[in-house]
Amino acid sequence: MFDLVTVGHFSIDTITVPNTTSPKRVLGGPPTYVSLAAARLGARVSVISKVGEGFPNRYVEWLKANGVGVSWLQRVKGAFTTEFVLDYADFKRRLRLKSRAPSISLEDIPASLRARAIHVAPIANEINPDVINELRERTKLLSLDPQGFVRSFDKQGNVRLRRWEGQRVLEHTNVYKSSTEEIEMVTGLKNLRSAVKLIRNLGVKVVLVTKGVRGSVLLSENVFCDVPACRSRVVLDPTGAGDAYIGAFLAEYVRGKEPQWCACVGAAAASFVVEEVGPAVFGEREETHARAREIYEKGIKRSMTK
């Protein structure tokens, strides 16, 4: 029994950030950031993912050494690994898909899969809807980040956001997390509170929306919470911050912690990831909790909703 299993593609990211002379090539994708953030907090984690035959073995060994189960990672002969190019010039992200690993299908879900939480996190529409139905049967807590469902790609691989009609998927979901731009693509609503309430009304128990340096919004048990961002020592690369947030949130949530505290821990985990390019910095449990307490004890702005 794992605490958390993340389903989605690993990626190899080529990242260019301001004030650097050359891009950096690093391991990425939700299975990386979600799993490592949760593992640092003591969660037992694993992944279901597919990569190409050229996926470096050093990445697999590094994940194992950092507490991530990789027995359900498939290396597909003759296939590519999902790769993205991320350019943060002018502090605005430009995202381009270079290659894509094969989709994750029902046959890829192991019969032995059991987890306290399963986090569904596509990045290039690689998870079939019937897979989500099956995952729902394997856990009491299904979490969703729809980022890969709201992306479209032109012939050059440039990413654009698109509308996604995901009501049937959301009806199976317990915890929802996305950015402000993504929740608009999911709901069709520009007003953030209205969009969050629409997700809640589909039966989702916890709704989280990340807003970068402006913190995040949490809706749980009819209470809206504005959660401040944690202060980082330096901000170099925002890649993976949202994934670290939900990984840390779920690691605490499956232990029965209140959602407001879990969101603060998520904010703290994200504040570490941005301090280096790629998945290089994750706070240990004590220091992540210390940062979380700073914003939790200052008080979170709460308001009731109907």
Q: pLDDT tens digits, residue range 146-171? A: 999 999 999 999 999 999 999 999 99
Mean pLDDT estimate for the chain: 95
Q: What is the mean pLDDT of residues 2-27?
A: 94
Pure H helices in the chain? 30-40, 57-65, 129-136, 167-170, 180-187, 192-201, 241-253, 259-273, 285-298
- The pTM of this model reads 0.96
Residue 32 and residue 170: Cα distance in Å, rounded? Answer: 24
CATH number of 2-304: 3.40.1190.20
Query: In the chain, what are the domain boundaries?
Result: 2-304
Q: How far is CA 124 from CA 47, 56, 96, 192, 205, in A?
A: 17, 21, 11, 24, 26
pLDDT in tens, 212-271: 999 999 999 999 999 999 999 999 999 999 999 999 999 999 999 999 999 999 999 999
300: confidence class by pLDDT, cuts 50, 70, 90? confident
Does residue 275 surpass a pLDDT of 70? Answer: yes
CA torsion sign for 182, 183, 189, 191 is negative
Cβ–Cβ < 8 Å for 122, 149: yes
pLDDT in tens, 39-71: 999 999 999 999 999 999 999 999 999 999 999
Residue 249 and residue 34: Cα distance in Å, rounded? Answer: 10
